[in-house]
């Protein structure tokens, strides 16, 4: 299996399985579409997408991030040195501003921007309408992991629960790391519906355990909890990876 080649100096929060997922999906992205990434930060996921696309159909990637905290120079350096720079167009704007006037069909949409619920929902509603039938949509930090609970990353999971699991527009829902993904489809079978409900059970079952974990976290003094978040790389507004 060919995997993305990511230098150790590139910062980001992707598991090996998530990096492989982004690479593989970008490689399979169909010609005539583009890849849209919402939340690029320092380019780790962008590198995976660009390397995968170069191994496949050379589908262009639009990397959207307002780049607060002056992250753009490092993003540019990382993608230029480790990614396929000619396949990447950075858009230094918010997701909403970048969507104005957008018309291109999207073969893969990766949402990893602001993790507040309203912002994740806005990203989904603005951009999912451009995803082609058979296209992939994926949400980072959207599972019931202790890390997501600790960091307050609850928005992506709530949006996934509402718009993927309770919708007839998506099938083949799956997980890798903390990423939930699905295929957009206008045609649904009984088997697809059963598969969606089966995956929903697998995803929501850990929530019972997470309730206990969250209760323990709530008992921690605010100063201690904030200190842990800072040590783990918490950034204001929970902006993208």
pLDDT digits (tens, 9 = 90+) for 189-237: 666 555 555 555 555 545 544 545 555 555 667 776 676 666 655 443 3
pLDDT of residue 232: 52
H helix runs in the chain, sequence order = 16-28, 44-55, 72-82, 95-99, 117-127, 146-151, 155-163, 190-204, 206-218, 222-231
In the numeric block, which tokens belong to residue 80? Answer: 């230029």
Side-chain-side CA neighbours of residue 193 (13 Å) = 5
What's the average model confidence in pLDDT over 155-169?
A: 91
pLDDT of residue 17: 94
pLDDT of residue 150: 57
pLDDT digits (tens, 9 = 90+) for 12-35: 889 999 999 999 999 999 999 999
> Mean pLDDT of all residues in the chain?
84
pLDDT of residue 148: 58
Domains and CATH numbers, the chain: 16-238 (3.40.50.150)
Instruction: Specify which residues 88 forms β-bridges with.
Output: 61
pLDDT of residue 154: 82
Percentage of residues of the chain with pLDDT beyond 70: 75
Percentage of residues of the chain with pLDDT beyond 90: 64
Instruction: Specify which residues 183 forms β-bridges with.
Output: 136, 171
What's the average model confidence in pLDDT over 166-176?
A: 90
pLDDT digits (tens, 9 = 90+) for 50-86: 999 999 999 999 999 999 878 999 999 999 999 899 9
Q: Is the pLDDT of residue 183 over 80?
A: yes
- Whether the Cβ atoms of residue 48 and residue 25 lie closer than 8 Å to each other: no
- Name which of 87-101, 113-127, 201-215 the model is least confident about: 201-215
């Amino acid at each position: 299996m060919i995997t993305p080649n990511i230098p150790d100096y590139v910062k980001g929060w992707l598991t090996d399985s998530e990096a492989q997922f982004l690479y593989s999906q970008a490689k399979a992205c169909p010609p005539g579409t583009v890849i849209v990434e919402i939340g690029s930060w320092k380019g780790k996921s962008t590198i995976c997408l660009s390397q995968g696309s170069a191994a496949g159909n050379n589908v262009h990637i639009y990397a959207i991030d307002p780049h607060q905290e002056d992250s753009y120079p490092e993003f540019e350096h990382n993608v230029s040195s480790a990614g396929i720079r000619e396949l990447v167009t950075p858009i230094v704007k918010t997701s909403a501003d970048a969507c104005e006037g957008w018309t291109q069909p999207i073969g893969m949409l990766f949402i990893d921007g602001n993790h507040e619920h309203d912002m994740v929902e806005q990203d989904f509603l603005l951009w999912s309408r451009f995803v082609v039938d058979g296209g992939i949509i994926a949400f980072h930090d959207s599972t019931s992991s202790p890390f997501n609970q600790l960091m307050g990353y609850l928005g992506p999971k709530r949006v996934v629960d509402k718009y993927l699991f309770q919708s007839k527009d998506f099938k083949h829902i799956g997980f890798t790391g903390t990423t939930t993904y699905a295929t957009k489809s206008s045609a649904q079978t009984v088997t697809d519906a059963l598969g969606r409900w089966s995956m929903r059970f697998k995803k929501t079952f850990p929530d019972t355990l997470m309730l206990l974990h969250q209760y323990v976290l709530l008992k921690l003094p605010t100063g201690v909890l904030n200190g842990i978040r800072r040590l783990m790389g918490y950034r204001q507004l929970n902006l993208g990876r």
